[in-house]
Structure 1
Amino acid sequence: MRVLRLVLAASLVLGLAAPAAAVGTGQAATIYSASVRRTEHGIPHILARDIGSAGYGYGYAFAQDNLCALEEIMMTANGDRSRWFGPNADAGDLSYGPLTNLASDTFVRSVLNNGFLRRVMDQPAPLGLDAQTRRLIDGYVAGVNRYVAEAAAPCHGARWVRPVTSDDITQMGFLFSQFGGLHEFQRAIADAKPAGSTGAAIPHPRSGEEGSNGGAIGAHGVVGGDGAALLANPHFPWLGGDRMYQVQLTVPGVMDVSGASIYGTPFVVIGHTQHLAWTHTVSTAQRFTLYELHLVPGDPTSYLVDGRPERMTETDITVPTGPESSVTTKVYRSRYGPVLADGWTATHAVAVRGASADNGRAFNEWVSLDQDDSVAELRETQNRYQGVPFVNTIAADATGVAYFADASAVPHVTDEQAARCVDTPEAKALYPTEIELDGSTSDCAWGSDPDAVVPGIFGPSRYPTLSRADFVTNSNDSSWLTNPAAPITSLPAIYGPVGTKRLPRTQLGLEQIQDRIGTGFTLANMDELLTAERNWSAERARDAAVTMCRHDPLLMSGDGREVDVSAGCSALAAWSGRNSVGDRGAVLWREFWLRAARVPEVWSVPFDPSRPVSTPNTLDTDSPGVRQALADAVLRLAQLHVPVDAPLSAAQYTTVGGGELPVPGCGNVEGCYDITAATDSGLLGSDGRFGAVTMGSSFVMAVRLTRDGPKARTLLTYSESSDPSSPHHGDQTVLYGRGGWVPDRFGEAEITASPELSVSVLCGRGA
């Protein structure tokens, strides 16, 4: 019966005509028809006869699971948070840090002022939205709005729930693309006032745990030497607007893609088609540069360029703060971009220019990627649109190619230009971690390449790229060690450092891949890169720490007490060195290592660029700081009445799936491949637990690609629905804690075989 229902649904979807005349109006209306097939854990597989209908089915399904979250994201994207939630409340932006609703709203309304984004999106493609992308967005909007109309008192009858518009969707996507660029300066843009600063440094309040792992294994690295494999492991917030949602979109003959979208966007950003899989990792390339403005004496809102004064533009931004109240703030803009609060004195100011500040191309690029079926097609798409805002791309296809590219929008600042234009002692001290250029000369404006789709960014011929038959990988370090056998070295400094110490995750990922590449990867051991829950710091230092405390079990704490660490020593000796929820000793190790890692002399063997994967190493057990760290860790557990052999599940949990659910993994300092992180210090709190996990591994996908098609496993760590009443609010979160996976049902036979299959046929008319 299940199969018959599906066949009926497919015939209805594929048999309807797409456009029809609206009765009585004389105008063409769009008729949408889609089948929403849900499999285990509520994952929707949308089958539609055209791309607008695919958007329609997707919008309806997403709204069923996440309408209230979508409405709040839309509120953020319109600068309306203060109206409904109050100007002083926290905006809930986990990717940024503490930020008031008023600052968020002022920033949003300033960057979208006077119809700016609509003008960007209305440009001819590829700069603006192409016709196919518009149809997908319009269908998505119609699907969401159908659910809004059907839902009874959605979001507990909240007055802020309203129908969605296409402008809302583009604004959500545009603001997401500002991550790493203007997004980092929301407060500084909103708070800027003439000569209102003491010259403080510009803050970048990231949490430090965003990022991702990605690995592609080519034909020489997979069992049988046929095809390729890929692991996608993005690390992003588990709350707020940067979450991911799993979906499959199928339009026969046009698109068949499975993967994950960012909340509120109608396309897959990480996923696979029949013969291609790709993922993204946050790139080290900078998304902005600062410009030092030399102010006209006596006039803090005018600055000099080539000896001539230019006046900043002043715009009044009005933010509603209630039904009948509002706050108006002036924002200031230079030729380079917004002026910032920090650094604005009587003689100097600082402006910021973002590489994606006018990027309307990203939507087109991902819609095109969703239809690509080879690395060659993916490269052509990225070269055509040049719209990826802040991430690297790791891809593999069934021909056995493993591919890496930082094909993102990067300011065109060469090393030669930086040598001329980074001209103050303060700027030179920060370079190249942060680039502040001299704004007093037009010679320091961004350059361009002939093959760049817009002025001011590097073109495709300058991208760091690497194609291999063995592997490529990235874990948020620069592209230098994408594959140690073929280091990428000839890059402008703005793309990231060469020859520097790598993140523990980078080293652990390279070790895991190199250990396996000789015997070959399968789907099962591809996903073990994550589920093995290896801990880099433990593998390098645990045995030495145990030897140290066995030799001398009485160590001095930071407050001068002698601490008997023998029980803790035994717990660490018995620990597996891994971070699954049941691993005993992981809690004590974290308390120790987060302290020890702060010690300058923690390693006896320092980093060596000629041995970048294996160094640093060898715990310096003679270091007083290292010995004290273990004493303090054991003492802290005793004070909190936490057993030294407590399992990780006793202290590490999340509440995003309802209740308190144990989750595996650890943070960047310890060096887990499977990142899980709280927003606090990472140490035990007064309740004897770490803070609730709110960030880390999100949509995980392991794919094996062959010419016969893909086989994949997936996991969405915080589950499909943000609605606490949904059965899919925490079901995959529980599975994550158990080390489980979800089979990726890509083909029709796989979908119809799902024991939990449900089918809904949707037909409706667009605006």
Structure 2
Amino acid sequence: MIVTRARRLAVPLVTALVGALLVLAPAPVRAAADRYSADIRRTEYGLPHILAKDHGGLGYGYGYAFAQDNLCVMASWVLTLRGERSRYFGAEAMSDDPVDPVSNLVSDVYYRGVQASGVLRRVLARPAPHGPGAELRALVDGYVAGFNRYLSETGVDRLPDPTCRGKEWVGPITATDVWTNLLDLGRLGGSSSFKEAIAAAGQTPDQPVRRSPAPGSNAYAIGREATRDGHGMLLADPHFPWNGSRRFYQVHLTIPGVLDVSGGSLYGTPMVQIGHNATVAWTHTVSHAQHLTLYRLKLVPGLRTSYLVDGRAEPMGRQEVSVTVRDAGGATRTVTTTLFTSRYGPVLGSGWTDRTALALADANAANLRFADEWLAMAVARDLTELRRAQDTHQGTPFVYTLAADVKGGTYFADTSVVPHVTDEQAERCRAQDDPELLVLDGSTSACLWGRDADAVEPGIFGPAAQPRLTRADYVTNANASPWLTNPKAPLTDYPRVYGDVHTERDLRTRVGLDMITRRLSGGDGLGAPGFTLESLWRTATGKRNLGAELLRPGLRALCRTRPVMTSSDGERIDVRGACATLAAWDGRARLDSRGAILWREFFLRLNGPHRRSDKPTSWWKVPFDPERPLTTPRGLDTANPVVTTALADTVRFFTANGIPLTLTPGQAQRYGAVPVPGCTEGEGCFDRIRTGEPLGEDGRYPEVNTGSSFLMAVELTPAGPRTRTVLTYSLSANPASPYHADQTELFSRGGWVTERFTEAEIRAFPRLTTTSLRP
């Protein structure tokens, strides 16, 4: 039975109602319920604390709680993973993938191809650590049973979320759905970002390879030498989508005496990816390493589907993939597509000619090891055990790891799965120049990935080759290469496939490093030198704009001599009002920062009126110097005409559309009905936000769609962790839920949640509710 306890809710009434619902539950759900039990305790903002006696029960409680808050998102994503979107929504509509939205037909062909490949079946058949361990399998099975129990008890027609209430496409999920979701998460930095090219094999020879960008993040791990009280501290600031299946769900998972972990868990995954236990905290940022390579195939003359390796012909493999498509009138038909494969991986439609083709080799194509790795990290008692967990599983798919422990140590590593391509091999085998992708010669076996003796799988680098750094002061990353993880100890001795060295750092990386420097010197106005939990939070959420700090003095000087500037079409524009606004601006991106949006629009135009780039370089006064990477480039080259043109064009846009020059972030940026502070990473903002589109003529950006998502600051003390968090888009995607926008409003006004981790803290919450799931 289920028992819900709240101060203002009578237990007999709830028991009676639940008993009535259980009578309606189908037999398979009740059979699953007989195997599991769990308690779901909710504290402020609906945050769930799941308590169970084993991993199956833990998954059961988690699946049930997640379904209460986000069933519709999961139901839609399951259609995606099964390749069934075209059946219900038509082929041309866009998929629900928040990272790489493509047409439903492309999405369905891709995921049907994954199914047809049999990769998941093969991985699940392997023993640990190559395949899932027993605890993980129990967790997944329990999660499915808990999710389905909630759906069965509630009924599709009575779901609280109007998004999918009564929809024909809502139904129970399976363990295969959860495993497929995990497999797809591992491929986020690889195969999953090439859906169009894979689905269109042989059909789009003239299209370049298009790869969707991966999300980003910030992270600090602060050690005993940099904290006021000598404790280890951690800041997690992942920049993931604000909608869809790649949102974080905040959860606390406890098996007494076995597991006690709290943090952020991506939708549909039954474990914590970013979080802490009593003595260790960790987070991830997206790695700069290559997690795939492309191979250029030399085709057999006259045979477009055969290629040469060491002079011998090899036929491509074929997969016939069928997708059911619904037309506008509701009729369905079957569309069949042929996908092609090679010894390296899928053959891409992009770049396929009569002589050559490209094949994708994804190091994470068959990787589920990261799921067990996260479980092992969750029970680590110190950094030594955390490193051992990573060395054992070697499954981290596409992210760096930064961690701190109660002893005050810090740790950085790129333990992600990286193809074994040495610098020598990359130079010898490079088949074409590409600034982002490593393209190797597929016509010779000498260019196959190598193997390390300490690697858990062939073809990837082992732990000994990975960039790592252990410090007592700090390590940090904001999606740059490992080089300046700590500028006092630059990392350089790693294969270039892991990232570059001695190259220009973006402004977000630079502002993050500068924030640490100022905090350690006490020069940031936040009190005596050294981090406390309060100063760590205030540092991370300060809304600094490094681009403005570096460039505004030069613009002020220009404004004093050029009150009228010429726009890109030759019109003379009076910029005095804009100059005054920017001079008075506080230089931050707070809700009420007057001039922050004017600056952004000017900054984005600096590369020209028709090109809005996050990586401008031509207008710096002092160019990048690899010997001074933290302070260069800097200054505004006021002699460059692009500067005056950019300001004139910006002012003209504002005045022509009646937009006040003092427009604030709170007026221009929204998530739903909630105003959102913050600015973009290109400007040099740390806790950044992104809308993906320019400012509209109404003075509004499209809704915020990505950025700081699950902010977590942890101080690991001998008495237990002290933690502040905020889930920027809130816990539930259900617009009817009380937890749909409550934390968004908290984030908007600069607030946070003081986490409840211990039993005493949880039980002390005055409005605690408990849902007990019992056979």
Instruction: Tell me how far 1:753 sits from its aligned partner.
Output: 2.0
The corresponding residue for 2:631 is 614
1:380 corresponds to 2:388 = yes
The corresponding residue for 2:586 is 576
CA shift digits 1:457-508 (9 cap, x unpaired): 1101111000000000000000000000111101111111111111111000
The corresponding residue for 1:222 is 227
1:460 corresponds to 2:463 = yes
Equivalent of 2:599 in 562, 583, 589: 589
CA shift digits 1:61-89 (9 cap, x unpaired): 00000001011111111111111111111
- Cα distance change of structure 1 residues 751 and 92 upon mapping to structure 2, 3 Å threshold: same
Instruction: Tell me how far 1:618 sits from its aligned partner.
Output: 0.8
Equivalent of 2:656 in 634, 639, 662: 639
The corresponding residue for 1:492 is 495
The corresponding residue for 2:280 is 276
**Would the aligned equivalents of 2:59 and 2:146 in 1 still touch at CA under 8 Å?**
yes
Unaligned runs of 5+ in 2: 12-26, 522-528, 609-615
Whichever residue aligns with residue 126 of structure 1, its letter is P
What count of residue pairs does the alignment treat as equivalent? 730
Instruction: Tell me how far 1:122 sits from its aligned partner.
Output: 2.0
1:234 corresponds to 2:245 = no
**1: CA distance between counterparts of 2:199 and 2:767?**
49
Whichever residue aligns with residue 671 of structure 1, its letter is G
Match of 2:348, SS state, is coil
Whichever residue aligns with residue 631 of structure 1, its letter is A
CA shift digits 1:685-722 (9 cap, x unpaired): 12221221111111110001122210000010000000
**Would the aligned equivalents of 1:5 and 1:759 in 2 still touch at CA under 8 Å?**
no
**Would the aligned equivalents of 1:563 and 1:635 in 2 still touch at CA under 8 Å?**
yes
**Would the aligned equivalents of 1:597 and 1:669 in 2 still touch at CA under 8 Å?**
no
Identity level (%): 50
Aligned runs of 1:316-331 on 2, under 5 Å?
316-322=320-326, 324-331=332-339
**2: CA distance between counterparts of 1:451 and 1:29?**
43
**1: CA distance between counterparts of 2:237 and 2:308?**
47
Match of 1:483, SS state, is coil
Instruction: Tell me how far 1:624 sits from its aligned partner.
Output: 1.0
Instruction: Tell me how far 1:28 sits from its aligned partner.
Output: 11
The corresponding residue for 1:78 is 82
1:562 corresponds to 2:569 = no
Instruction: Tell me how far 1:31 sits from its aligned partner.
Output: 2.5
**1: CA distance between counterparts of 2:546 and 2:124?**
45
- Cα distance change of structure 1 residues 545 and 755 upon mapping to structure 2, 3 Å threshold: farther
The corresponding residue for 2:738 is 727
- Cα distance change of structure 1 residues 522 and 328 upon mapping to structure 2, 3 Å threshold: same
- Cα distance change of structure 1 residues 293 and 593 upon mapping to structure 2, 3 Å threshold: same
Instruction: Tell me how far 1:530 sits from its aligned partner.
Output: 2.3
Whichever residue aligns with residue 168 of structure 2, its letter is R
Match of 2:663, SS state, is coil
Query: TM-score with structure 2 length normalisation?
Result: 0.92
**1: CA distance between counterparts of 2:277 and 2:33?**
31
- Cα distance change of structure 1 residues 441 and 453 upon mapping to structure 2, 3 Å threshold: same
The corresponding residue for 2:22 is none
CA shift digits 1:645-665 (9 cap, x unpaired): 12221111122xxxx211111
Whichever residue aligns with residue 608 of structure 1, its letter is D
Equivalent of 2:642 in 619, 625, 628: 625
**Would the aligned equivalents of 1:287 and 1:354 in 2 still touch at CA under 8 Å?**
yes
The corresponding residue for 1:13 is none
Equivalent of 2:417 in 394, 409, 412: 409
Aligned runs of 1:277-292 on 2, under 5 Å?
277-292=281-296
- Cα distance change of structure 1 residues 438 and 567 upon mapping to structure 2, 3 Å threshold: same
**2: CA distance between counterparts of 1:584 and 1:336?**
54
**1: CA distance between counterparts of 2:268 and 2:235?**
24
Instruction: Tell me how far 1:360 sits from its aligned partner.
Output: 2.0
The corresponding residue for 2:115 is 112
Whichever residue aligns with residue 747 of structure 1, its letter is T
**2: CA distance between counterparts of 1:574 and 1:456?**
57
**1: CA distance between counterparts of 2:117 and 2:461?**
29
The corresponding residue for 2:17 is none
Match of 1:224, SS state, is coil
Equivalent of 1:541 in 538, 541, 551: 551
Whichever residue aligns with residue 418 of structure 1, its letter is A
The corresponding residue for 2:379 is 371
**1: CA distance between counterparts of 2:362 and 2:115?**
14
Instruction: Tell me how far 1:2 sits from its aligned partner.
Output: 8.2
1:178 corresponds to 2:190 = no
**1: CA distance between counterparts of 2:115 and 2:508?**
37
CA shift digits 1:175-232 (9 cap, x unpaired): 11111101121000101127x513x4322233x7x2000110000000022x211100
Match of 1:220, SS state, is coil
Whichever residue aligns with residue 262 of structure 1, its letter is L
Indicate the RMSD between aligned Cα atoms, in angstroms.
2.0
**Would the aligned equivalents of 2:280 and 2:404 in 1 still touch at CA under 8 Å?**
yes
The corresponding residue for 2:690 is 677
The corresponding residue for 2:15 is none
Higher mean alpha-carbon deviation, 114-123 vs 164-173, is at 114-123
The corresponding residue for 1:161 is 170
**Would the aligned equivalents of 1:249 and 1:258 in 2 still touch at CA under 8 Å?**
yes
Whichever residue aligns with residue 547 of structure 2, its letter is S
Higher mean alpha-carbon deviation, 395-404 vs 318-327, is at 318-327
Match of 1:241, SS state, is helix
The corresponding residue for 1:19 is none
**1: CA distance between counterparts of 2:499 and 2:115?**
30
**2: CA distance between counterparts of 1:139 and 1:405?**
32
Equivalent of 1:445 in 444, 448, 455: 448
Instruction: Tell me how far 1:555 sits from its aligned partner.
Output: 1.1
Higher mean alpha-carbon deviation, 642-651 vs 29-38, is at 29-38
Whichever residue aligns with residue 61 of structure 2, its letter is G
**2: CA distance between counterparts of 1:385 and 1:575?**
50
- Cα distance change of structure 1 residues 439 and 747 upon mapping to structure 2, 3 Å threshold: same
1:695 corresponds to 2:706 = yes
The corresponding residue for 2:99 is 95
Equivalent of 2:483 in 475, 480, 483: 480
The corresponding residue for 2:526 is none
**1: CA distance between counterparts of 2:617 and 2:263?**
42
Unaligned runs of 5+ in 1: 9-22
**Would the aligned equivalents of 2:32 and 2:145 in 1 still touch at CA under 8 Å?**
no
Match of 1:467, SS state, is strand
